[in-house]
Amino acid sequence: MKRGDVVYYARIFPVTDTYEVDELRIRTITDTYFVGTEKHTKQAFLLSLEDYGRIVFSERGKALQLVKAAEKNRKPQESEDDDGEELY
């Protein structure tokens, strides 16, 4: 991986119901981390080099597979205040 490369970040956050693949262009890389800028929003993501191959991939298909598997296995969110009573 080098500056200017395009990678795909599998963003999976079940708590916020976020399951997406972001296309990042590498703008900074060091011995331990890298920074990628999202294609459309220009948002920067600081990620560990250890994430490469785990949640960041050079092929979009691999990231998409991971996201789809996580989305398929997600559990329905229940409200913490849900005690079965209506609020009105």
> What is the band of 59 on the pLDDT scale with cuts at 50, 70, 90?
very high
Judge whether residue 33 has pLDDT over 90: yes
In 3-state terms, what secondary structure has residue 72? helix
User: Does residue 44 have a pLDDT over 60?
Assistant: yes
Domain boundaries along the sequence of the chain: 6-71
Structure tokens belonging to residue 30: 């060091």
> Rg of the chain's alpha carbons, rounded to an integer?
17
Mean pLDDT of 8-26: 94
Q: Is the pLDDT of residue 18 over 60?
A: yes
Q: Return mean pLDDT, the chain.
A: 88
11 neighbors 20 (Cβ within 8 angstroms): yes
> What's residue 69's pLDDT?
93
Exposed, middle or buried: residue 84 (CB in 10 Å: 0-12, 13-18, 19+)?
A: exposed
